[in-house]
Chain A
């Protein structure tokens, strides 16, 4: 009996675990180690952040689902990987620290034959002074990265709305809290939902809403922008985004690295080296991501984290690292098997793998501050990669170590993004975009690097309904209800 251990129960980890359990059956053991007791459909946190959904609607308990699937569930945080075992334990193992109620802090080991590191990101609030400490959100701003954060964001937003109702003008700032952030799309969706809520509350005229982000142009989204085929024309996401902001009277600051947050004020540096300040009464700033605090220890007890992990703490896989010249970036630099470059029985799908380089053009200010969005690997790509890794691991277990690995590169993968405003069935509007491939391939598609025939976008009610459908469909799938395998990632 082989033992497959999956670290993390997010989109990619949950996908890998559930498919692996289904394909391997009871002959092999699938173990999920995750510090969270609940699964969270993160895209709908936006609606929680404006009070349109409750936390319970976007989360569910993992334990009963894993029990049904025959997966062993350990509620704990992985702290060390011992890929060669240790003096006392022959087999490879991970050291975990319990987060379960009643046994918090208890340290145990979990042996494995195959390990999938799907730990996702550490929300690195501590990277910006005043934004928070470590992975803890600070007191000055809010976030929608977790369901709990979103509930807090909604509470603060409601307070701001009450102040506006009593005649006190409010400054609202939404965007990214560091020069290396990703997930601009989440902030993009949130700012329009906030604007929608203010309109509904009849206080839009009492609010000055502003966007701040590390993108060098509006609509970059960490993907170097995209072009959407619409009505026979290829429209840039820059025009798409600028039109939306202009129509709603929302000014923007781009190319900004927020370097300090204090009560009611952010300090930032721009790509031209200029320093600026922006006051706020309510601010939602996305933190930068790093890999989780996970060490790799060799059999002799030496720290081999540098071998297994990139400096940003994400796991090094089969990507081509070290290509620093933007002009030399190739689609083929990106990984396709997500197998650890150091150990063949370790994989890292989703956000946990170290990307070879950003997708957006790397830029820095004259002061040397790098202000470049990190590449997004969330949502659809994370799910697709998670399933491919499950395929590979299952084949390795059932067919032997020489089994061919399943390949899926983000340079051959499309992604869909639906940014919705409002939650009502008839009063919502969504910007629905698809992009193919996620990683531009300039050799295959000269110019933008993308196939404009498969990259399109629309704004309207239909996209909003898709957002609703996706919410229910993916939660249904994640709960492993009948027919869950038929729903695509």
Chain B
């Protein structure tokens, strides 16, 4: 029977994955289901865990169309390292760079639970390693380097490899404009506070003038920020929506702060 292949984000199982202790009709049916599902989806191989079964069983479709059944497989000796781009049915449409062993030796059991072994290399070795990852309930996620794991998690968030071609930077040029605006407003607040210590009316008037010039300059910078920030945001399509909200919000906050400073300055400094 063709079974549904479980895909991310649904967990393959909230149950455990474990060895086959006794070969029963249930295991025989499971192997048949794996073969049917491989044929139906034109796959190279499937692990029982990928169709929601707890047992450590792998079925591989060989070049001649026959199936290799691996029960309770274990990877023993390894040689060489090779990094390739891999994909798996559990994470459809997403690839990851995984470092694997070039050559491996495998032990496994047959339907009579008799132990066998063989060696594999090249693409077959990588396929086997990817499938063995699923035994005991894992996936290649646990074989990724720290850096690749970060990239892969971003790919998972966007659901495709394409989204990752550009990443949303954590700092932008517009942040420098924002910094100047903030410094300018801090200076305006200091001017406002210093006006309370001035006795002569002329000096107070000139301070208010400086405050006015600064407010025009700050407002101009804010307008520049508003438009430039949107231009810069469009360069990174993967994070546009959250940026636009952020830019509008930042501009509104600047305007409110500036208005407050100027209202207070008008009434107290004059």
Contact among A235, A239, A251, A361 for B19, CB-based, below 8 A: A361
CB pair B146–A247 under 8 Å, yes or no, is yes
Closest to B135 in A: A238
CB pair B16–A236 under 8 Å, yes or no, is yes
Q: Mark B98-119, 1 if CB is under 8 A from A, else 0.
A: 0000000111000001010100
Closest to B149 in A: A247
| Chain B residues near A233 (CB-CB < 8 A) | 11, 14
CB distance from A330 to the nearest CB of B (A): 12
B142 adjacent to chain A (CB < 8 Å)? yes
CB pair A327–B74 under 8 Å, yes or no, is no
B78 adjacent to chain A (CB < 8 Å)? yes
| Chain A residues near B142 (CB-CB < 8 A) | 239, 242-243, 246
A232 adjacent to chain B (CB < 8 Å)? yes
A272 adjacent to chain B (CB < 8 Å)? yes
CB pair B74–A236 under 8 Å, yes or no, is no
| Chain A residues near B78 (CB-CB < 8 A) | 251
Closest to A268 in B: B77
Q: Mark A356-389, 1 if CB is under 8 A from B, else 0.
A: 0000010110100000000000000000000000
A75 adjacent to chain B (CB < 8 Å)? no
CB pair B105–A448 under 8 Å, yes or no, is no
Q: Mark A266-288, 1 if CB is under 8 A from B, else 0.
A: 00001111101000000000000
CB pair B107–A236 under 8 Å, yes or no, is no
CB distance from A440 to the nearest CB of B (A): 9
CB distance from A277 to the nearest CB of B (A): 12
Cα–Cα distance between A447 and B18 once the two chains are bound (Å): 6
Closest to B78 in A: A251
Contact among B16, B77, B113, B135 for A452, CB-based, below 8 A: B16
Q: Mark B60-92, 1 if CB is under 8 A from A, else 0.
A: 000000000000101011100000000000000
Contact among A236, A247, A326, A452 for B136, CB-based, below 8 A: A236
The bracket for how many chain A residues form the interface is 35 or more
Contact among A224, A234, A361 for B14, CB-based, below 8 A: A234
| Chain A residues near B74 (CB-CB < 8 A) | 216-217, 254-255, 271
CB distance from A371 to the nearest CB of B (A): 10
Q: A247-B146, A254-B76, A270-B76 are in contact. Are A225 and B136 (CB under 8 A)?
A: yes
CB distance from B9 to the nearest CB of A (A): 13
A476 adjacent to chain B (CB < 8 Å)? no
Cα–Cα distance between A108 and B76 once the two chains are bound (Å): 51
Cα–Cα distance between A273 and B106 once the two chains are bound (Å): 11
| Chain A residues near B125 (CB-CB < 8 A) | none
Closest to B55 in A: A447
Q: Mark A87-105, 1 if CB is under 8 A from B, else 0.
A: 0000000000000000000
CB pair B136–A238 under 8 Å, yes or no, is yes
Cα–Cα distance between A363 and B105 once the two chains are bound (Å): 16
CB pair A448–B16 under 8 Å, yes or no, is yes
Q: A270-B77, A271-B107 are in contact. Are A236 and B137 (CB under 8 A)?
A: yes
A227 adjacent to chain B (CB < 8 Å)? yes
A23 adjacent to chain B (CB < 8 Å)? no
CB distance from A274 to the nearest CB of B (A): 6
| Chain A residues near B18 (CB-CB < 8 A) | 227, 236, 447-448
Closest to B137 in A: A236
A253 adjacent to chain B (CB < 8 Å)? yes
CB pair A271–B16 under 8 Å, yes or no, is no
Q: Please list the residues of chain A having a beta carbon within 8 angstroms of any beta carbon in chain B.
A: 216-217, 224-225, 227, 232-236, 238-239, 242-243, 246-247, 251, 253-256, 270-274, 276, 326-327, 361, 363-364, 366, 442, 447-448, 452
Q: Please list the residues of chain B having a beta carbon within 8 angstroms of any beta carbon in chain A.
A: 11, 14-19, 21-22, 54, 72, 74, 76-78, 105-107, 113, 115, 117, 135-138, 142-143, 146
| CB-defined A-B contacts under 8 Å, sample of 24 | A216-B74, A217-B74, A233-B11, A233-B14, A234-B14, A234-B16, A234-B137, A238-B136, A239-B142, A242-B143, A246-B143, A251-B78, A255-B74, A256-B76, A271-B107, A271-B117, A272-B107, A274-B77, A276-B77, A327-B22, A361-B19, A442-B21, A447-B15, A448-B16
A-B pairs with lowest CB-CB distance, top 8: A272-B117, A236-B136, A234-B16, A227-B16, A238-B136, A239-B138, A255-B76, A448-B18
